A and B are shown apart, each in its own frame.
Chain A
Amino acid sequence: MPPLTRWYIKSALVYLTAALLLAVILALPINLPLFIRYMNPAYFHLFLVGWVTQMIFGVIYWMFPIITRAQPRGNEQLGWASYALLNVGLLLRAIGEPLVSTRPEAGLGWLLAVSALLQWLAAVLFVVLAWPRVKEKYRGE
């Protein structure tokens, strides 16, 4: 299993744990702070982007047909960039979204724009990386 895949899958498991812990907190029968209550979309996306999508990315990078023996999985740097962008972008959202919702006057809306751009770039880079691997099994040159 390549190192990038290990990072993807371990991160995915951490996000799944975090998402479900957040779900527990959101279900507590107490008067939750507004900041926490505004983390409902964060809960969804920690699960769907952090866990599901990241798990898929890790397994695709690992298991899809290789391109050539010399560079089996394409440009690995692209994969690391995508990994970093996705995770920084998602964490920024998890903090930024409730921050912007609780303090709309603070002028922090740009945090969400940055988070959006980072996650979008992560998806574009990943598709660029994985697209050539959607192919027949490698049978030598």
Chain B
Amino acid sequence: MPRLSQWIIRAAFIYLLLGFTFGALLLTHKGMPLHPALWGWLPAHIEFLLMGWIVQLTMGVAFWILPRYWKHPRGTDEIYAQIAFVFLNLGIWLVVAGTTFRAGIWVLLAGRVVEVGAVVFFALHAWKRIVSREGA
């Protein structure tokens, strides 16, 4: 597994733990009220798990496992995947800042835009590595 995949997947595991921790607190709170402010963490719970865990893990595994060489070198353009990794994590925290930490709708919007950027860069990196058996 390449080094970049290792970093992306480790980050995904950390978000899994963060997301499950807030989920567990929210679920406990639903049964036995802990603190009213906890509901404010629901957007962070969702963001950590959907983007931080599921999307990020998928990217990490794709960077590892898509063909690097088939008929001819596929040029992994690692820099695009690196940018995707940075953007995704920046986007997640901007969204959390804009929702849970009430930093305002512009921060939330910026977070969403940066997340789109992350996916576009990841797709740019992956495009040439998605090939048929004939190499098309």
A interface, CB within 8 angstroms of B: 48, 52-53, 56, 64-65, 93, 96-97, 100, 108-113, 115-117, 119-120, 123-124, 127, 130-131, 134-137
Closest to A126 in B: B16
CB-based contact A120/B24 at 8 Å:
yes
Q: Residue B118 at the A interface, CB < 8 A?
A: no
Sample of 11 more A-B contacts, CB < 8 Å, known A93-B27, A135-B1, A136-B1 = A48-B54, A53-B54, A56-B54, A108-B31, A111-B31, A112-B28, A112-B30, A113-B31, A120-B23, A123-B16, A134-B9
- In the bound complex, residues from chain A placing their C-beta under 8 Å from that of B50 are 48
Given contacts A127-B16, A135-B1, contact A109 B21 (CB under 8 A): no
- In the bound complex, residues from chain B placing their C-beta under 8 Å from that of A124 are 17
- In the bound complex, residues from chain A placing their C-beta under 8 Å from that of B13 are 127, 130-131, 134
Q: How far is the CA of A129 from the CA of B54 in the complex (A)?
A: 18
Distance of B4 from chain A, by nearest CB (Å): 12
CB-based contact A123/B31 at 8 Å:
no
CB-based contact B1/A116 at 8 Å:
no
- In the bound complex, residues from chain B placing their C-beta under 8 Å from that of A108 are 31
CB-based contact B6/A135 at 8 Å:
yes
Interface of chain B: mostly helix, strand, loop or mixed: helix
Interface of chain A: mostly helix, strand, loop or mixed: helix
Closest to B34 in A: A113
Closest to A115 in B: B27
Given contacts A134-B6, A134-B9, contact A97 B20 (CB under 8 A): no
Given contacts A65-B1, A120-B20, contact A109 B6 (CB under 8 A): no
CB-based contact A119/B1 at 8 Å:
no
Distance of B116 from chain A, by nearest CB (Å): 21
Given contacts A112-B28, A112-B31, contact A123 B57 (CB under 8 A): no
